[in-house]
Chains A and B, each alone.
Chain A
C-alpha cells in the first residue's frame, strides 16, 4: 500500500513551458486535492475533485488545470509556467470518516522551480 505518490519529485521549468504533475493513490479514496505551499506559509488549495470525472476550483486556481479521468489519479497541469508558480506542490486524498470529516492523506510533494 503506497498511499499517495507524486511524480516527479523535482522539476525546473523555464517561463512559458508546460508540464503535468501526476498524483496517484491506492486507497480507493473519492476525494483528491492539489495544494501549493510557498516558503514559510501554509498550504493553499488549488483544485480538488470529489469523484472521477469531477473537479472544482479551490482558493488559488488561476494558471492551473486539473483532470480526474481515473479514480486513482489526479493530474495538475501548468500550461504556461510563470516564476510565481515556483512552489512545493502537495497532492492529498481523503475519505469520509463520518459525515463532515475527511481525513486527508498527503503525498511527499513536488518541488517546482520556474526560472
Chain B
C-alpha cells in the first residue's frame, strides 16, 4: 500500500466548505483511495472511496488528481458534528486490509 501524507490538523468555520488534502505519490495504478473518519470516542466510519474519477456521496466528495498522486476530501458545509480525525488510506485491489496513518484532526469552529 502506498504511503499517505496528511496535515496533522486543520480548522474550518461552521457551514463553510472544507478541503482535506492527501498526498500519495507512490500510489500504483490499481490502488484505491479510501477516506474514513473517527469521531471522538468512536470507531472509524467509512466516508468515501475512489479509483480515478471524482466521486460524490451523501457525506462528501472526493477529488482525485489526474496523476493520482494526491486527492482531496471535500465537505461541502462543515458542521460541528464533522469534527473528527480524517484518515486517507490507499489499498491495492487485492488487499482486504487497511493501513491507517495518523490522519488529520479537523476542528470546526462555531
Contact = CB atoms under 8 A, between A and B. Distances in A.
Interface residues of A, number: 29
A106 B45 contact: yes
| Majority-rule SS of B interface residues | loop
| Majority-rule SS of A interface residues | strand
Contacts of B49: 97, 101, 103
Contacts of A104: 36, 44, 46, 98
A100 B101 contact: no
Contacts of A58: 97
Contact of A42 (B30, B43, B95, B101): B101
A108 to B, nearest CB: 6
A107 B43 contact: yes
Interface of B: 30, 32, 36, 41-46, 49, 87, 91-103
